[in-house]
Amino acid sequence: MSTLHLCGTLSFRRRATDRIATVGTLLALLLTLIPLTLVVGYVVTRGAERFSGRFLTSSMAGVGPLDAGGGISAAIIGTLEQVLVASVIAVPLGLLVAIYLTEYGGSRFATAVRFLIDVMTGIPSIVAGLFILAFWLIELGHGFSGFAGALALSILELPIVVRTSEQMIQLVPNSLREASYALGIPKWRTILRVVLPTAATGIVTGIMLAVARVIGETAPVLLVIGNNNFVNGDVFRHAQASLGVFIYQGALSSSDFDVDRAWAAALTLILIVFALYAAARLLTRRDKLARR
Amino acid sequence: MAKRIETIGLSCFYGATQAVADVSLTIEPKSVTAFIGPSGCGKSTLLRSLNRMHEVVAGARIDGKVLLDGEDIYANGIEPSAVRRTIGMVFQRPNPFPTMSIYDNVAAGLRLNGLRRKSDLDDAVERSLRGANLWDEVRSRLPKAGGSLSGGQQQRLCIARAIAVEPQVLLMDEPCSALDPISTLAIEDLISELKDRYTIVIVTHNMQQAARVSDVTAFFTLKGPGEPGHLVEVDATHKIFANPSQQRTEDYITGRFG
């Protein structure tokens, strides 16, 4: 009888703890979802007012703050080109650094590199922009350009690529490297043929996340791309627009038209980021399916 | 094809720790030599030093000589990858390349050696899979992932991958310890077939297995924890198991220690 009684109290306590923990985690989940839904919901409702095909394909050329028309084609082209160039710089470089750290590291130099990459992760984005302004524009005398923005973005993207790729390469089991060495396959070829393909899914996801992370950056490009109402497809010459800067300036404007355009641009940015995430997930899934 | 391996005063180290002390033995071609002994006696380390896989671990080094048909595989100017192509290895856990198909797993080492012609590769892949007694089970699903096979099939795939590059010697590090009895039997049958063409060295914890598959058995032990392992005796397998010349071997074989 007494054991049964004991069991009863224990089970009551355990059930209560279980209930509290369940409710607690659910509450935490809801709390996290509140800001997310509010942000996305607000951007979607406000952005949808001005969002249209015409908005995406027309520029702000000849459109003043008090005009209702205009669009963000210049900003979309600018942002996509800047992020593309930044990735062309940061992804190969970051991947090579990650390969060095995982496959050839272990020395004190590698530890120092790892530390510097960590420091780089902590650089405030405005500092990256200021650095490019001081170095590329003022010191070396180059004019405003999308490329200057891309340089600033690559400073931010590089450490993310290094860190995620490094983690993914570290996940590749050592037994696979050994299997490859045992076939007489040299180390460099083992890295190219065995290690990188095995880690590819994770590396691609990491790169997508890094791109998504910098695509909405405003501060680093604000000071160096010069901004431009006209479409400028040449990322290396003359001022370019950017979605982040467009939103920033629109939001500061006293004209309701500018504010509306900023909301629609914000919606566009979220859609682009969402498309990137979806593409990353799709790539991952296809890879998994292929392995079955 | 098969070549003789000879170790002379071979010691293996991990940094400052000595794992194997002063082993001198000869491994005859076209025979199966088993390394047995208690855990930590350095038999796997010794095996890995025979094809220069030991030095893959940071800080690992050896002392002494390993001769392959009289040629020192640790001599200056000898490429470790060339040694490993000649002396293949099968590991404890099946480790097919997860991103590659069954076909590509077997072809992986061949492609490295410059074999590119589709028909040559096809022939070599079939020959290797037949050699590993796996062809009939996988012939219809060569483009499937290597990881889709069962554990025993994966291990035979790894053996096919190892013999595809036509090594002279095959080192096997407890190749059945992760497998069920039926898969173990399949691998043991395979070992008996392979010894017609290769020199085979197998490390095993399973003494019945050593007695079943090997022609020669080498018994290793260590004096105590932290001490390096050493060779106690090496002899024909039937002699080791029926009438060993060392008391320690008999104690181990009869299960009195280890």
pLDDT digits (tens, 9 = 90+) for A232-255: 888 888 888 899 999 999 889 888
**Confidence at residue B101, expressed as pLDDT on a 0 to 100 scale:** 92
If you average pLDDT over residues A217-230, what whole number do you get? Answer: 87
Tokens of B130: 């037949």
Asked whether the predicted pLDDT for residue A2 surpasses 70, the reply is no
Distance CA B56, CA B62 (A): 12
Nearest to A220 by CA among A90, A92, A42, A93: A90
Distance CA A234, CA A85 (A): 12
At A99, which amino acid appears?
Answer: I
Asked whether the predicted pLDDT for residue A215 surpasses 60, the reply is yes
Chain B residues within an 8 Å CB radius of A193? 108
**Confidence at residue A78, expressed as pLDDT on a 0 to 100 scale:** 92
Q: Where does the pLDDT of residue A6 fall: very low under 50, low under 70, confident under 90, or very high at 90 and above?
A: low
Asked whether the predicted pLDDT for residue A131 surpasses 90, the reply is yes
Chain B positions with Cβ closer than 8 Å to A = 51, 53, 56, 58, 80-86, 88-89, 91, 93, 95-100, 108-109, 112-113, 144-145, 147-148, 158, 161-162, 165
Asked whether the predicted pLDDT for residue A1 surpasses 70, the reply is no
Asked whether the predicted pLDDT for residue B161 surpasses 90, the reply is yes
Least confident span in A91-105, A203-217, A227-241, B201-215: A227-241
Strand order, beta sheet including B71-72? B71-72, B60-68, B5-14, B17-27, B229-236, B216-222, B32-36, B199-203, B169-173, B87-90
- Report the chain B residue with the minimal C-alpha distance to residue A173: B95
Query: What are the φ/ψ torsions at residue B138 (nearest 5 degrees)?
Result: -120, 0
Q: Where does the pLDDT of residue B132 fall: very low under 50, low under 70, confident under 90, or very high at 90 and above?
A: confident
- Report the chain A residue with the minimal C-alpha distance to residue B54: A178
| Contact assignment for B89 to A182 by CB distance below 8 Å | yes
| Contact assignment for A178 to B81 by CB distance below 8 Å | no
Asked whether the predicted pLDDT for residue A286 surpasses 70, the reply is no
| Contact assignment for A291 to B97 by CB distance below 8 Å | no
Q: Share the mean pLDDT of chain A.
A: 88
Provide the β-strand partners of residue B242.
none
Query: What are the φ/ψ torsions at residue B58 (nearest 5 degrees)?
Result: -60, 130
Asked whether the predicted pLDDT for residue A163 surpasses 70, the reply is yes
3-state secondary structure chain A: CHHHHHHHHHHHHHHHHHHHHHHHHHHHHHHHHHHHHHHHHHHHHHHHCCCCHHHHHCCCCCCCCCCCCCCCHHHHHHHHHHHHHHHHHHHHHHHHHHHHHHHHCCCHHHHHHHHHHHHHHCCCHHHHHHHHHHHHHHHCCCCCCHHHHHHHHHHHHHHHHHHHHHHHHHCCCHHHHHHHHHCCCCHHHHHHHHHHHHHHHHHHHHHHHHHHHHHCCCHHHHCCCECCCCCCCCCCCCCECCHHHHHHHHHHCCCHHHHHHHHHHHHHHHHHHHHHHHHHHHHHHHHHHHHC
Determine which of A185, A195, A284 to mutate to test the interface with B (most B C-beta atoms within 10 Å): A185
Chain A residues within an 8 Å CB radius of B144? 292
Chain A residues within an 8 Å CB radius of B165? 183-184
pLDDT digit string (tens) for A42-101?
999 998 888 888 888 888 877 877 778 888 888 999 999 999 999 999 999 999 999 999
Fold of A54-291: MetI-like fold (1.10.3720)
Indicate the pTM of the whole model.
Answer: 0.83
**Confidence at residue B32, expressed as pLDDT on a 0 to 100 scale:** 94
Range among A21-35, A199-213, B229-243 rated most confident:
A21-35
Asked whether the predicted pLDDT for residue A137 surpasses 90, the reply is no
If you average pLDDT over residues B242-257, what whole number do you get? Answer: 86
Cα three-residue angle A125-A129-A131, rounded to 5 degrees: 115
- Report the chain B residue with the minimal C-alpha distance to residue A196: B99
Min Cα separation A213/chain B (Å)? 29
Q: Count of A–B CB contacts within 8 Å?
A: 76
- Report the chain A residue with the minimal C-alpha distance to residue B162: A183
Chain A positions with Cβ closer than 8 Å to B = 106, 173, 175-186, 189, 193-194, 197-198, 200, 290-292
Nearest to B165 among A178, A183, A194 (CB): A183
**Confidence at residue A143, expressed as pLDDT on a 0 to 100 scale:** 84
Q: Where does the pLDDT of residue A292 fall: very low under 50, low under 70, confident under 90, or very high at 90 and above?
A: very low
Chain B residues within an 8 Å CB radius of A106? 58
Q: Where does the pLDDT of residue B112 fall: very low under 50, low under 70, confident under 90, or very high at 90 and above?
A: confident
Q: Give the side-chain half-sphere CA count within 13 A for B184.
A: 15
| Contact assignment for B81 to A106 by CB distance below 8 Å | no
**Confidence at residue A288, expressed as pLDDT on a 0 to 100 scale:** 53
**Residue B58: which region, alpha, beta or left (left: phi > 0; alpha: psi -120 to 50)?**
beta
Min Cα separation B240/chain A (Å)? 31
Distance CA B90, CA A146 (A): 54
For chain A, domain boundaries: 2-48, 54-291
C-beta of residue B171 within 8 angstroms of C-beta of residue B51:
yes
**Confidence at residue A91, expressed as pLDDT on a 0 to 100 scale:** 95
C-beta of residue B10 within 8 angstroms of C-beta of residue B19:
no
Min Cα separation A254/chain B (Å)? 56
Asked whether the predicted pLDDT for residue A36 surpasses 70, the reply is yes
**Confidence at residue B183, expressed as pLDDT on a 0 to 100 scale:** 83
| Contact assignment for B108 to A106 by CB distance below 8 Å | no
Superfamily of domain B5-93+169-253: P-loop containing nucleotide triphosphate hydrolases (3.40.50.300)
Least confident span in A109-118, A190-199, A220-229, B4-13: A220-229
- Report the chain B residue with the minimal C-alpha distance to residue A104: B58
Distance CA B20, CA B40 (A): 10
pLDDT digit string (tens) for B42-98?
899 999 999 999 988 888 999 999 999 989 999 998 999 999 999 999 999 999 999
Residue percentage of chain B with pLDDT more than 70: 99
For chain B, domain boundaries: 5-93+169-253
Least confident span in A55-64, B69-78, B161-170, B228-237: A55-64
Determine which of A108, A172, A181, A195 to mutate to test the interface with B (most B C-beta atoms within 10 Å): A181
If you average pLDDT over residues B147-174, what whole number do you get? Answer: 91
Asked whether the predicted pLDDT for residue B133 surpasses 90, the reply is no
Distance CA A40, CA A212 (A): 16
